[in-house]
């Protein structure tokens, strides 16, 4: 008698409704940054539901890692497109960020309307030092993966000096780093043959709906007509949306966040300095302290961290009173929506336009030399951001004219140090660290 376990059957193709409900659920539980979000999708789509195989999942992810923009959201678009064509990708990508938009907008309203309450101030007093630790930890995490030799260390140091000492705008740092990476890849390829990518784990979870040997589906084949139609539709959508923005503040946001969307190489932390330069220094939509608070809210809500742009848009439209002093909430929601729309539109174009080309081969994709250079430069930029946030937290009364004026907040410095040790040495969850720091800040504020 044969006692061997029965062979697993290939799962049935999910209906559009079934996929819709999964992407909606994902939008509400996608905590933990890109690593956590990708892990959630892998566990559900590869291991449990087996809608896509391990190698196909990683192949799609490697392509998303090459692009500017949030890779976890782009991966959702890619898999949604594989399952249910263009509309499947659009639904997956929209639902990945839509819950976060409404949750973050609601929290931002509470922050602006009730921020003077001692309770709210106490919570944020504890969260701000945690944010400093989180950004330092992000710089360490990116650097430990990207800076594998002295050349890349020098590139990271140069980018730090450029932005910290000379105030060079972030886009120019990215451009120069990419050019140096391209040159370095030709002159000293061994120095630039490092970087990201995700390898397969070689685990077998059973036959998948989209398996390694699944023949290409009709809609995944590259077609010039599809590409041209997609690009025309995306351009028309962008132009139409810009034409609807009569208020100059919203128009500035549309243009600014479109540029930001094309610069998010290396994750959200990499583009935050650019968002800060534009939102705080150029347009005056919010203050540096509010930017720290926005990052704190972004860390505590589902969705990609780059959703902090919706906070910037909300605060900017509220501060500028674009609809008058009696419609601040409506103005904030309009600003948050504009920032989110223009930030994420390019991600849909990148995936829906490029995925058919990627599907034509299942060979592994690797980071190019220019991207390796950009990633190295990002380390210096993120470190600068950490110092800026830390300066605001431990010397809150200092100014650019008097950078060390006012009292030193030793207690908040200790919170930052403790939070960093919890993240770095003890591998604690970011959400838990933020919650503990918020509680400590609340108690300290009431006792002070």
Is residue 228 over pLDDT 70? yes
Residue 73 falls inside a structural domain: no
Q: What are the contacts of 142-148 at 24+ separation with CB within 8 A?
A: 142/266, 142/267, 142/269, 142/375, 142/378, 142/379, 142/382, 143/379, 145/195, 145/196, 146/194, 146/195, 146/196, 146/372, 146/375, 146/376, 146/378, 146/379, 147/376, 147/379, 148/194
**Per-residue model confidence as pLDDT tens digits over 148-202:** 899 999 999 999 999 888 888 777 887 898 889 889 888 888 888 654 444 444 5
Of 52-61, 112-121, 285-294, 426-435, give the range with the top mean pLDDT: 285-294
Residue 298 sits at φ, ψ, to 5 deg, of -60, -35
**Between the CA of residue 445 and those of 120, 128, 187, 440, what are the distances in Å?**
10, 13, 56, 9
Q: Residue range 55-63: average pLDDT?
A: 79
More confident: 83 or 365: 83
**Per-residue model confidence as pLDDT tens digits over 8-36:** 788 999 999 999 999 999 998 886 567 66
State residue 224's pLDDT score. 93
Cα-based angle 99, 347, 253 (whole degrees, multiple of 5): 75
Instruction: Look up the domain containing 336 and give its range.
Output: 98-197+221-448
Task: Give the DSSP H or E segment for 329.
Answer: helix 328-359
What is the C-alpha to C-alpha distance for residues 192 and 211, in angstroms, rounded to an integer?
33
What is the C-alpha to C-alpha distance for residues 264 and 72, in angstroms, rounded to an integer?
13
Residue 32 falls inside a structural domain: no
Q: Residue range 201-212: average pLDDT?
A: 77
Residue 211 falls inside a structural domain: no
**Per-residue model confidence as pLDDT tens digits over 379-403:** 887 788 788 778 888 988 887 778 8
State residue 368's pLDDT score. 57
Q: Residue range 205-222: average pLDDT?
A: 87
Per the rule left: phi > 0, alpha: psi between -120 and 50, beta: everything else, 381 is alpha
Percent of the chain with pLDDT over 70: 90
3-class SS shares of the chain: helix, strand, coil, % to 5: 70, 0, 25
Residue 66 falls inside a structural domain: no
**Per-residue model confidence as pLDDT tens digits over 264-307:** 665 666 678 888 889 999 999 999 889 988 988 887 788 888 89
What is the C-alpha to C-alpha distance for residues 260 and 325, in angstroms, rounded to an integer?
29
Is residue 442 over pLDDT 50? yes
Q: What is the CA 412 to chain-centroid distance, rounded? A: 26
- What average pLDDT does the chain have? 86
Bridge partners, 210 (sequence order)? 52
Secondary structure (DSSP) of 249-277: HHHHHHHHHHHHHTT-TT-HHHHHHHHHI
Q: Residue range 214-240: average pLDDT?
A: 92
What is the C-alpha to C-alpha distance for residues 167 and 269, in angstroms, rounded to an integer?
17
What is the C-alpha to C-alpha distance for residues 94 and 85, in angstroms, rounded to an integer?
15
Is residue 206 over pLDDT 90? no
Q: Residue range 216-225: average pLDDT?
A: 89
Residue 276 falls inside a structural domain: yes
Residue 8 falls inside a structural domain: no
Q: What is the pTM of this model?
A: 0.77
Residue 12 falls inside a structural domain: no
Is residue 365 over pLDDT 60? no
Residue 85 falls inside a structural domain: no
Per the rule left: phi > 0, alpha: psi between -120 and 50, beta: everything else, 258 is alpha
Q: Is 7 helix (H, G, I), strand (E, B) or coil?
A: coil
**Per-residue model confidence as pLDDT tens digits over 66-119:** 777 888 899 999 999 999 999 999 999 999 999 999 999 999 999 999 987 888
Question: What is the number of domains present in the chain?
Answer: 1
Percent of the chain with pLDDT over 90: 44
């Amino acid at each position: 008698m044969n006692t061997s376990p029965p062979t697993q059957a290939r799962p049935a193709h999910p209906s559009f409704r079934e996929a819709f409900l999964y992407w909606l659920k994902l939008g509400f539980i996608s905590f933990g940054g890109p690593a956590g979000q990708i892990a959630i999708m892998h566990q559900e789509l590869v291991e449990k539901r087996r809608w896509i195989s391990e190698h196909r999942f990683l192949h799609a992810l490697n392509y998303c890692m090459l692009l500017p923009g949030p890779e976890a959201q782009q991966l959702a678009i890619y898999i949604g497109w594989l399952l249910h064509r263009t509309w499947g990708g659009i639904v997956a990508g929209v639902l990945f960020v839509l819950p976060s938009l409404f949750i973050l907008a609601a929290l931002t309203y509470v922050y602006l309307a009730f921020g003077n309450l001692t309770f709210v101030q106490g919570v944020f007093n504890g969260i701000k030092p945690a944010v400093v630790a989180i950004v330092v930890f992000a710089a360490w995490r990116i650097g430990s993966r990207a800076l594998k030799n002295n050349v890349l260390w020098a590139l990271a140091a140069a980018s730090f000096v450029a932005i910290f000492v000379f105030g060079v705008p972030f886009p120019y740092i990215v451009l120069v780093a990419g050019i140096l990476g391209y040159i370095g890849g030709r002159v000293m390829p061994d120095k630039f043959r490092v970087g990201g990518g995700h390898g397969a784990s070689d685990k077998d979870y059973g036959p998948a709906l989209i398996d390694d040997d699944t023949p290409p589906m009709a809609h995944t084949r590259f077609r010039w007509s599809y590409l041209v139609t997609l690009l025309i539709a995306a351009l028309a959508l962008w132009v139409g949306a810009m034409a609807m923005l009569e208020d100059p503040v919203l128009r500035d946001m549309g243009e600014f966040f479109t540029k930001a969307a094309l610069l998010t190489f290396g994750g959200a932390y990499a583009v935050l300095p650019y968002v800060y330069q534009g939102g705080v220094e150029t347009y005056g939509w919010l203050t540096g302290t509010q930017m720290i608070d926005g990052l704190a809210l972004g860390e505590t809500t589902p969705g990609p961290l780059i959703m902090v742009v919706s906070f910037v848009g909300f605060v900017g439209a509220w501060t500028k009173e674009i609809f008058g002093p009696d419609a601040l909430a409506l103005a904030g929601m309009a600003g948050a929506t504009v920032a989110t729309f223009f930030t994420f539109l390019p991600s849909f174009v990148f995936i829906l336009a490029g995925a058919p080309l990627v599907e034509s081969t299942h060979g592994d994709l690797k980071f190019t030399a220019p991207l390796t250079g950009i990633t190295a430069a990002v380390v210096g930029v993120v470190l600068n951001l950490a110092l800026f946030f830390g300066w605001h937290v431990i010397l809150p009364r200092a100014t650019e004219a008097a950078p060390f004026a006012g009292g030193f907040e030793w207690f908040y410095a200790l919170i930052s140090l403790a939070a960093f040790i919890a993240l770095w040495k003890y591998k604690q969850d970011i959400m838990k660290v933020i919650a503990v720091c918020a509680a400590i800040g609340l108690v300290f504020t009431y006792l002070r």
